[in-house]
Chain A
Amino acid sequence: QSALTQPPSASGSPGQSVTISCTGTSSDVGGYNYVSWYQQHPGKAPKLMIYEVSKRPSGVPDRFSGSKSGNTASLTVSGLQAEDEADYYCSSYAGSNIPLFGGGTKLTVL
Chain B
Amino acid sequence: QVQLQESGPGLVKPSQTLSLTCTVSGGSISSGGYYWSWIRQHPGKGLEWIGYIYYSGSTYYNPSLKSRVTISVDTSKNQFSLKLSSVTAADTAVYYCARARTGTIAWWGQGTLVTVSS
- A-to-B contact residues, CB < 8 Å: 1, 3, 32, 34, 36, 38, 45-48, 51-52, 57, 89, 91-94, 96-104
Q: Assuming the A-B contacts A98-B51, A98-B63, are A46 and B46 also in contact, with contact meaning beta carbons closer than 8 angstroms in the complex?
A: no
Q: Does B16 contact A (CB under 8 A)?
A: no
B62 touches A45 (CB 8 A): no
| Chain B hits for A48, CB < 8 A | 104-106
From B7-15, B17-25, B78-86, B108-116, give the one contacting chain A. Answer: B108-116
| Chain A hits for B111, CB < 8 A | 45
Number of interface residues of B (CB under 8 A): 21
Residue among A36, A46, A92, A98 with the most chain B CB within 10 A?
A: A98
B96 touches A98 (CB 8 A): no
Per CB-CB distance, the 10 closest pairs between chain A and chain B, nearest first, are: A93-B103, A99-B103, A45-B108, A51-B104, A104-B46, A101-B47, A98-B49, A34-B102, A36-B104, A98-B62
A interface: dominant SS: loop
Q: In the complex, A64 Cα to B62 Cα: how many Å?
A: 30
| Min distance, Cβ A95 to any Cβ of chain B, angstroms | 10
Q: Assuming the A-B contacts A34-B103, A93-B102, A96-B60, are A101 and B48 also in contact, with contact meaning beta carbons closer than 8 angstroms in the complex?
A: yes
Q: Which of B88-103 contact A (CB under 8 A)?
A: 96, 100, 102-103
